[in-house]
């Protein structure tokens, strides 16, 4: 941004300096129509000739004001416009004529109406910023263009109001005021529309990110608390047996160790999930859980005495090619399905099948619990559907024969990674 600001200031200075030099050189000459020429000439404009004169001493300060105004049009747009109007008006009052000098007020009108502005501190990263000044703050200054043109007729009666050439110059003033202002307003409107689109996109992304974090927190906390509750129940049951004489201290210790491990892993994963609110860059975030952690997920349940079978029908190295979004969604769907089994089917056996075929990653989590109807859709099932939908997939929950539930998810593999 600082380089862009310096470059814009340099370009404006060069334009202002060029206009000043050429206008000053043009003030040494006067173009006049010649009274001599071929008497029988009927086509084309009448011949002209150039007369060399001594310019007024006011020409030099006039072109200096023009150069200063053009150079400062992005720093102080309204002050630059006033400077160029005074400079061009003084230049015309000296009797000098040079059409390109009207480019100066046109450029400053554009800057006032909504061009880019350079801050006074060029070392700042925000030195180059858009100006969104309201119309009422600059439109009244356009009235100064009228006395600028009238300055060229100050020696004529009634300030040139009886001269037809004055009204031609007035039309030029209107063009100088309206055309750059309309262009600037169109650019400004487009810039505001693009900014609004970016803001809406940012809000949509923030909402989706908050929704994803809420699902992650729900999955992590729900699954971990379910496992901890189950492990605590096992430990209490074994302690009751110990009181009756059937001592199993080894199982009690293993259950308590499983509780400790599950709690530690849950806290670590929750900390990783919430790190997004503190991280300044993507590099600070830890990797999200994926299918490579299925064994750890199953071991946590097995340590509590639950039977969990994993069936992965694809080579292990194929998991490295699964897109990260699909990999994470698959893990969370399996995790939530096992959590529901732990909560609602205390003695059920769970089977997890992961299949990759024809560009589709298929997941099946089934149990032989007591369920004979599909349960009402709660946050868990709704979260699984949202995760699958986010990667273009689907989730179906159905009843098995004679009892138990089957959760099936089909997740398409993205970016052409399927083989």
In 3D space, the residue among 296, 274, 157, 155 whose CA is nearest the CA of residue 216 turns out to be 274
- pLDDT in the model for residue 44: 46
Q: Is the pLDDT of residue 394 over 90?
A: yes
Q: Is the pLDDT of residue 373 over 80?
A: yes
Residue in the block written with tokens 């400004």: 188
Of 321 and 364, the structure prediction assigns the larger pLDDT to 364
Tell me the average pLDDT across 304-317.
Answer: 75
pTM of this structure: 0.46
Q: How far apart are CA 31 and CA 54, in angstroms?
A: 14
Evaluate whether 354 touches 294 at the Cβ level (below 8 Å): yes
- pLDDT in the model for residue 67: 93
271 CB contacts (<8 Å, ≥6 apart)?
A: none
Predicted confidence (pLDDT) per residue in 203-219, tens digit:
887 777 777 666 677 66
Q: What angle do CA 180, 147, 179 make, to 5 degrees?
A: 10
Please report how the helices 164-243 and 324-344 are oriented relative to each other, as an axis angle in degrees rounded to 10. Answer: 40
Please report how the helices 77-93 and 59-71 are oriented relative to each other, as an axis angle in degrees rounded to 10. Answer: 160
Find the radius of gyration of the CA atoms of the chain. Answer: 40
Could you give all domains of the chain from N- to C-terminal order, each with its CATH number? 2-162 (no CATH), 290-419 (3.30.565.10)
- pLDDT in the model for residue 352: 93
Evaluate whether 317 touches 419 at the Cβ level (below 8 Å): no
- As a whole number, the mean pLDDT across the chain is 76
Tell me the average pLDDT across 48-55.
Answer: 67
Which range (90-104, 126-140, 176-190, 339-353) has the least confidence? 126-140
- pLDDT in the model for residue 87: 92
Percent of the chain with pLDDT over 90: 13
Of 7 and 281, the structure prediction assigns the larger pLDDT to 7
Q: Is the pLDDT of residue 159 over 80?
A: no
Q: Is the pLDDT of residue 256 over 70?
A: no
- pLDDT in the model for residue 296: 84
Percent of the chain with pLDDT over 70: 68
């Amino acid at each position: 941004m600082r380089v862009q600001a310096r470059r814009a200031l340099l370009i404006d200075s060069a334009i202002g300096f060029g206009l000043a030099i050429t206008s000053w050189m043009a003030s040494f000459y006067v173009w006049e129509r010649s009274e001599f020429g071929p008497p029988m000439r009927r086509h084309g404009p009448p011949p002209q000739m150039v007369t060399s004169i001594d310019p007024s001493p006011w020409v030099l300060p006039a072109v200096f004001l023009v150069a200063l105004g053009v150079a400062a049009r992005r720093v102080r747009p309204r002050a630059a416009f006033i400077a160029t109007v005074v400079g061009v008006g003084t230049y015309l009052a000296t009797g000098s004529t040079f059409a390109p000098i009207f480019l100066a007020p046109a450029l400053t009108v554009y800057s006032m109406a909504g061009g880019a502005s350079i801050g006074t501190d060029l070392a700042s990263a925000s030195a180059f910023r858009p100006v969104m000044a309201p119309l009422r703050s600059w439109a009244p200054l356009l009235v100064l263009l009228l006395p600028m043109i009238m300055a060229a007729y100050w020696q004529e009666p009634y300030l040139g109001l009886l001269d037809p050439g004055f009204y031609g110059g007035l039309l030029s003033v209107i063009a100088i005021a309206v055309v750059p202002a309309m262009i600037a307003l169109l650019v400004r409107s487009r810039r505001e529309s693009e900014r609004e689109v970016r803001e809406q996109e940012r809000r949509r992304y923030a909402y989706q990110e908050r929704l994803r974090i809420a699902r992650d927190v729900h999955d992590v906390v729900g699954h971990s608390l379910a496992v901890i509750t189950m492990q605590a129940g096992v430990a209490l049951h074994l302690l009751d047996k110990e009181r009756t004489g059937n001592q199993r201290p080894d199982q009690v210790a293993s259950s308590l160790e499983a509780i400790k491990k599950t709690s530690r892993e849950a806290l670590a994963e929750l900390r990783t999930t919430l790190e997004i609110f503190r991280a300044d860059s993507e590099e600070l975030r830890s990797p999200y859980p994926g299918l490579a952690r299925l064994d750890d997920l199953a071991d946590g349940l097995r340590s509590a005495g639950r039977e969990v079978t994993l069936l992965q029908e694809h080579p292990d190295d194929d998991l490295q090619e699964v897109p990260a979004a699909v990999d994470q969604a698959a893990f969370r769907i399996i995790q939530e399905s096992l959590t529901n089994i732990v909560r609602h089917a205390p003695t059920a056996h769970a089977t997890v099948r992961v299949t990759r075929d024809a560009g589709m990653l298929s997941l099946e989590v089934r149990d032989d619990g007591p369920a004979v109807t599909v349960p009402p859709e709660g946050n868990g099932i709704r979260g699984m559907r949202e995760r699958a939908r986010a990667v273009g997939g689907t989730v179906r929950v159905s009843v098995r024969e004679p009892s138990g539930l089957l959760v099936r998810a089909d997740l398409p593999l993205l970016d052409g990674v399927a083989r």
